[in-house]
């Protein structure tokens, strides 16, 4: 495993700059939400950009102009279709390079170089990136399955900007993982030329964390969908109710917490030291914290009987 000292912590390549900017933007937006409402001018357009789904209900009245940019929230499935296809292609390309020793296609190699691909410096493992890319692909596949066969969507909406952001997001995440593959010129660098020799304890730990967090996220999405069904499993309404069970006993949005845990499990799989990936985790932390905060506010304003001990995002803390 490379150490922090061994990595170029100060190198702010385009990918790192992008994730840092996104993380800072969501941190700032979250901080703005913590300021008492009276102190901030209510801007319908801004609120419309940061809220989606049920949390739009808690925002100031939406002008008709805002509604023109609405996209059904059930289109979340499009994000995962793109991700399964794109990240499936990247996974195939990496596997192909590792098995045959062939370089990445020219255009992909060029793109990775622009974004800031890692030239081998000593210690980076191609197996880590391969596992993380496989996790990302499996995560997208499960989410696509949930969107199509588990979740019951209402007529909730997202902003068209959020829609496009979601599409580009999964392309960028996959490229970020691939850019962490150690390269030797145009070829993937494999220490000792045997991938299995690269297996380390943190790969096992990361995999266990990934399975554990994914299982909880799935469970939470099932709990949410069951709120809209009768005992026979038939959808009977599309309202928002108070969820109970599993991690819902601790936080209002355990599915967002599980998402964060999934990205942390990937950081573990990278061997804990990958700065670029920690910037992705930081972005996921603030974006999910913002959504969880707004959901928590929505539940507390809608239900007088909402459990008092329940936090928004982090058990016992926030």
- Chain residues in the site for ligand NAP (CB under 6 A): 53-54, 73, 76, 151-154, 156, 217, 224, 227-228, 240-241, 243, 255-256, 259, 284, 287-288, 291
Closest approach, Cβ 243 to ligand NAP, in A, equals 6
Nearest to 165 by CA among 78, 273, 46: 78
By beta-carbon proximity to ligand NAP, the closer residue of 97 and 217 is 217
Shortest reach from residue 82's CB to ligand NAP, in Å:
13
Rounded alpha-carbon distances, angstroms, from residue 286 to 23, 133, 171, 269: 6, 22, 20, 21
- Nearer CB in complex with ligand NAP: 53/174: 53
CB of 180 or CB of 287, closer to ligand NAP: 287
Measured distance CA(92)–CA(83) in Å, rounded: 13
Tokens of 182: 């150690």
Find the shortest distance in angstroms from Cβ 294 to ligand NAP. Answer: 10
Task: Tell the smallest beta-carbon distance from residue 117 to ligand NAP (Å).
Answer: 23
| E strand or H helix that includes residue 287 | helix 275-302
> In angstroms, rounded to a whole number, what is the distance separating the alpha carbons of residues 65 and 9?
45
Measured from the CB atom, the residue of 117 and 291 that comes closer to ligand NAP is 291
Q: Give residues with Cβ within 8 angstroms of 108, minimum separation 6.
A: 93, 178
| Closer CB to ligand NAP, 53 or 206, in the complex | 53
Q: Please state whether beta strands 157-159 and 183-184 pair in parallel, antiparallel, or not at all (unpaired).
A: unpaired
Minimum Å gap between C-beta 222 and ligand NAP is 10
Residue nearest to ligand NAP (CB): 259
Query: CB neighbours (10 Å) of residue 88?
Result: 16
Please, what's the largest Cα pairwise distance for the chain? Answer: 62
- Of the pair 190, 224, the CB lying nearest ligand NAP is at 224
The answer to whether 111 and 180 are in contact (CB under 8 A) is: no
**CB of 195 vs ligand NAP, minimal distance in Å:** 28
């Amino acid at each position: 495993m490379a150490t922090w000292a061994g990595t170029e912590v100060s190198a702010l390549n385009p990918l790192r700059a992008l994730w840092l900017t996104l993380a800072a933007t969501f941190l700032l937006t979250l901080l703005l939400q913590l300021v008492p409402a009276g102190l901030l001018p209510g801007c319908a357009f801004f609120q419309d950009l940061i809220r989606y789904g049920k949390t739009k209900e808690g925002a100031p009245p939406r002008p008709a102009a805002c509604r023109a940019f609405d996209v059904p929230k059930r289109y979340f499935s499009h994000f995962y279709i793109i991700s399964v296809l794109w990240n499936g292609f990247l996974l195939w390309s990496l596997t192909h390079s590792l098995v045959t020793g062939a370089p990445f296609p020219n255009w992909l190699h060029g793109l990775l170089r622009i974004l800031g691909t890692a030239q081998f410096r000593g210690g980076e493992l191609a197996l880590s990136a391969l596992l993380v890319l496989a996790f990302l692909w499996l995560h997208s596949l499960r989410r696509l399955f949930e969107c199509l066969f588990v979740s019951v969507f209402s007529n909730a909406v997202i902003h068209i900007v959020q829609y496009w952001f979601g599409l580009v997001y999964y392309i960028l995440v996959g490229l970020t993982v691939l850019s962490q593959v150690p390269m030797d010129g145009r070829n993937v660098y494999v220490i000792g030329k045997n991938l299995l020799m690269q297996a380390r304890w943190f790969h096992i730990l990361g995999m266990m964390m990934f399975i554990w967090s994914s299982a909880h996220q799935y469970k939470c999405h099932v709990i949410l969908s069951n709120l809209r069904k009768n005992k026979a499993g038939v959808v009977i309404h599309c309202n928002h109710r108070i969820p109970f069970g599993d991690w819902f006993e601790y936080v209002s949005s355990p599915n967002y917490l599980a998402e964060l845990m999934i990205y942390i499990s990937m950081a573990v799989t990278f061997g804990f030291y990958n700065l670029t990936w920690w910037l992705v985790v930081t972005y996921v932390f603030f974006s999910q914290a913002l959504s969880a905060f707004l959901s928590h506010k929505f539940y507390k304003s809608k239900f007088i009987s909402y459990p008092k001990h329940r936090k928004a995002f982090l058990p016992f803390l926030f």
